[in-house]
Chains A and B, each alone.
Chain A
Amino acid sequence: MLRELSQVLGELHDGLLAVQARAGVQLSNVEMTLPLELRPVLRDGGCILLADLPRSREINEWLTSPSKLRLGWSSAEEPELPRNVDDVRGGGKP
């Protein structure tokens, strides 16, 4: 079921916060490259962008080459004490 793209971004953000909380680190830059299913729908007199990550990572005859979303996240504030993790790259190959 596709959701609004903002919801997907919100969950990715939650995931990053959870990584920080669990690992006790301050991430400064994160880059993600993710496969994306995307569908603009006309609703309430406007256009809403629905999206989600594909349920399957398999490339097959049905989804030969999905759209890709590249996100660059950066810290809004400089961390007071630099930690040992500066750069996390996630997602990668669809």
Chain B
Amino acid sequence: MSAQMPALLQDSGVPFDLFIQALTEQLDKAQASMAIKARVGKMPLTFAVKDVSIDLRVFVQMIDDDIYLRPAGPGEAEASTIKLALTTITKPMIEENAIDFKAEDPKFTLKEALGDEISDADQRRLERIGVRTITQLNDLKQAAGADVIARLSRMPVNRLQQALMRAAAPRVTRVEQASPDESSGSRVHMRAPGLRAGRLPLVRAAGQSVPVIAAEDGQIVLAPLATQLGCEAEVDFGGGEIAHVQLSEGRIGHWSAP
């Protein structure tokens, strides 16, 4: 019978949350597949899974504050039973809880923003707790702290700190070109989670300072000269925190080595 046991199933089983996640992924996959079948086969979607409940025969273990489940195998009669019931989530419930994906530019997804500094596995870990963009990562850091993120995502603290540091670098969200009649100059809008409250950053580009016309709530608006647009700017947030970012739309900055 041992030949039927998948090699990668740990002796202690899998964490409960991972199990629930795997179950919901399978249900989502099944629903998606049914919808595709209905569309391709041009038949009405006459059935959808409405309620699912599972009586799991498992062995339960606590390891480092985590609950692990291992399904009972043949000949194992003393297993516990866990009853799971999942029901339909209605459209209003989804809309109420859904993340507003439009609010964040796709250029600032975790992968785009952090590049090689985040592995696929770490990205998946963050996505599992609902973090898909660097804005969400920064917001969660402010609301809950790095320790909580590390614990929930199961991401090693040092790698998370590196990702948080990278995510806090300024990035150019929008560039407004000067009007043709030159009645209004160019504006560069930056998101800067590293911005300190009550402190105006010093910005320099092409050997000259760049006027900062607004700096609050993690947002900076610059009024660069036409010759400074597209150049790399140095943003000094104070306290030795200096970042460099190109003054072009969608560019993500990086911190200077101390």
Contacts and interface: CB of A to CB of B under 8 A. Distances in A.
B238 to A, nearest CB: 40
Interface in A46-67: 46-50, 61-67
Nearest to A38: B71
Contacts of B79: 65
Contacts of B197: none
A49 B56 CA distance: 13
B51 A72 contact: yes
Contacts of A27: 46-47
Contact of A67 (B9, B56, B124): B56
A64 B77 contact: yes
A48 B46 CA distance: 28
Given A17-B46, A67-B71, A10 B34 contact: yes
A85 interface: no
Nearest to B9: A41
A93 interface: no
Given A39-B9, A68-B55, A73 B22 contact: no
Interface residues of B, number: 47
A40 B71 contact: yes
B48 interface: yes
B22 A47 contact: yes
Contacts of B54: 36, 38, 67-70
A69 B85 CA distance: 10
B30 A76 contact: no
A73 B124 CA distance: 31
A67 B34 CA distance: 24
Task: Sort chain A's interface into a size bin.
Answer: 35 or more
Contacts of B13: 40
B52 A69 contact: yes
A57 B120 CA distance: 42
A75 B69 CA distance: 34
A56 B43 CA distance: 34
A83 B49 CA distance: 21
- What are the 9 tightest A-B residue pairs by CB atom distance, in nearest-first order? A72-B51, A9-B30, A6-B29, A62-B74, A5-B26, A6-B30, A68-B55, A47-B22, A74-B50
Interface of A: 4-6, 9-10, 13, 16-17, 20, 26-27, 30, 36, 38-43, 45-50, 61-77
24 contacts: A5-B30, A6-B26, A6-B27, A9-B27, A10-B33, A16-B47, A26-B46, A27-B47, A38-B71, A39-B9, A42-B10, A45-B124, A46-B22, A48-B22, A66-B57, A67-B55, A67-B56, A67-B57, A67-B58, A72-B49, A74-B48, A75-B46, A76-B46, A76-B48
